[in-house]
């Protein structure tokens, strides 16, 4: 079936003009019910399906948006991708996925549209990209930015309030009596203002009258389990003995917990740990992980809506959209709850919960 049937074939079959078939396909209003039915019958009979390439050529739109993420291995991005795909599907848009590895080179290529040249719009979650890299990119493809990096540029940006979220996490730890809170996952060789989570960590510690010296910050190259483990090991090897750790994301927090466990330190009794992103994995370790939980579904939805809003050449004022988040308290800060084995739906969210926009 479905060898290749065009409007012309359907028109011949129904004995009408090509445009009339097109009108039926596109639900054009001035078509009599009788005619509509006749044409529809031919469409069904022949199994006609519109050729999108031709439609795109004619309309100048492709119906495709690109989503460029640092890496899919991190479940946060995978779940975010799922949210974007679902949101796009609701608008009859298709998502083309790309990954940059968080490398500036790749991020530039993507932002310039060199990797995918068939797209109507682009959603990009940059890691190393700098503001200057976005100066002269093609104007006809709208761009929406996601994530922690904050640029002073005329593009929409969707993110949670990273500084506030980091402060909440640290406040949670301080409220539990912790006095020496390490940060794992600063970016190597970057000015701090770019690092909203470090900034929140520092601000909250200072506000509490606690130390936030450089010995408590571990910079890393990557953002995976192994990087978190290495950073944790480095802090312990330096002789510091923090009683709490705030990690840039969940995989790093889990990597850090692995090292703590291997060295005989108990979580949370000796060291409390808070992660970021609330990935599923954190809910099923031997010690479940307290984490900042961004509303991924909302972020995906808002990103898609922002891109689509800019399609018709309309250019609404660039806006910074704040998605909501919650701090979800689990065993890595609150200790073990005997009944919780992950089988019950609620699986570990509890009193530390707090919602923010």
Partner DNA sequence: CCACGACTGTATAACGTTGTAAAACCAGGG
Partner DNA sequence: CCCTGGTTTTACAACGTTATACAGTCGTGG
- Residues found near a second copy in the complex (CB under 8 A): 1-4, 49-54, 56-57, 62-64, 71-73, 75, 77-79, 81-82, 85, 89, 94-99, 113, 115-118, 136, 138-140, 224-226, 229-230, 233, 251, 254-255, 257-259, 261-263, 280-281, 283-287, 338, 340-343, 347
- Please state the closest distance from residue 237 (CB atom) to a second copy, in A: 10
Q: Is 12 in the site for DNA (CB under 7 A)?
A: no
**Max CA-CA distance within the chain?**
86
Give the Cβ contact number of residue 206 at 10 Å: 11
Q: Which is nearer to DNA, 55 or 199 (CB)?
A: 55
Out of a second copy, DNA, none, what residue 229 binds, judged by CB under 5 to 8 A for its kind, is a second copy
| Listed residue (241, 281, 235) closest to 256, CA to CA | 235
- Please state the closest distance from residue 56 (CB atom) to a second copy, in A: 4
Q: Is 140 in the site for DNA (CB under 7 A)?
A: no
Q: Which of residues 203-262 bind DNA (CB under 7 A)?
A: none
- Please state the closest distance from residue 93 (CB atom) to DNA, in A: 16
Q: Which of residues 37-96 bind DNA (CB under 7 A)?
A: 48, 50-51, 54-55, 57-60
User: Among 12, 31, 97, 176, which residue interacts with DNA (rule: CB under 7 A)?
Assistant: 31
**213 burial via Cβ count (<10 Å: 0-12, 13-18, 19+):** exposed
Q: Which is nearer to a second copy, 79 or 133 (CB)?
A: 79
Out of a second copy, DNA, none, what residue 34 binds, judged by CB under 5 to 8 A for its kind, is DNA
Q: Which residue has the tokens 């409007």?
A: 7
Q: Which is nearer to DNA, 2 or 152 (CB)?
A: 2
Q: Is 22 in the site for DNA (CB under 7 A)?
A: yes
Contact window for DNA (CB under 7 A) among 6-14, 117-125, 156-164, 329-337: 6-14
Out of DNA, a second copy, none, what residue 30 binds, judged by CB under 5 to 8 A for its kind, is DNA
Q: Which is nearer to a second copy, 14 or 81 (CB)?
A: 81
């Amino acid at each position: 079936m479905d060898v290749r049937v065009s409007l012309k074939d359907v028109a011949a079959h129904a004995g009408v003009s090509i445009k009339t078939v097109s009108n039926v396909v596109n639900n054009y209003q001035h078509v009599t019910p009788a005619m509509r039915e006749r044409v529809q019958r031919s469409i069904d009979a022949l199994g006609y399906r519109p050729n999108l390439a031709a439609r795109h050529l004619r309309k100048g739109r492709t119906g495709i948006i690109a989503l460029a993420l640092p890496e899919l291995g991190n479940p946060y991005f995978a779940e975010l991708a799922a949210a974007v795909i679902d949101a796009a599907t609701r608008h009859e848009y298709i998502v083309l996925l790309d990954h940059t590895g968080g490398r500036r080179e790749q991020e530039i290529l993507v932002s310039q549209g060199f990797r995918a040249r068939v797209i109507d719009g682009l959603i990009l979650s940059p890691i190393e990209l700098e503001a200057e890299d976005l100066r002269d990119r093609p104007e006809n493809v709208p761009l929406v930015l996601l994530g922690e990096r904050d640029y002073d540029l005329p593009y929409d940006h969707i993110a949670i309030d990273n500084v506030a979220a980091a402060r909440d996490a640290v406040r949670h730890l301080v409220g539990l009596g912790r006095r020496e809170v390490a940060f794992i996952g600063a970016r190597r060789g970057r000015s701090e203002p770019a690092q909203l989570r470090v900034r929140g960590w520092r601000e909250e510690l200072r506000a509490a009258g606690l130390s936030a010296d450089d010995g408590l910050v571990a910079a890393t190259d990557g953002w995976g389990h192994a990087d978190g483990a290495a950073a944790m090991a480095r802090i312990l090897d330096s002789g510091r003995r923090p009683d709490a750790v705030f990690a840039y994301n969940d995989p790093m927090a889990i990597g850090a917990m692995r090292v703590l466990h291997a060295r005989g330190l108990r979580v949370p009794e000796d060291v409390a740990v808070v992660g970021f992103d609330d990935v599923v994995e954190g809910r099923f370790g031997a010690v479940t992980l307290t984490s900042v939980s961004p509303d991924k579904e909302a972020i995906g939805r808002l990103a898609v809506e922002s891109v689509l809003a800019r399609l018709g050449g309309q250019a609404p004022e660039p806006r910074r959209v704040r998605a909501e988040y919650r701090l979800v308290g689990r065993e890595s800060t609150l200790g073990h709850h005997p009944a919780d084995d992950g089988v019950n739906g609620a699986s570990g969210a509890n009193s530390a919960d707090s919602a923010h926009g």
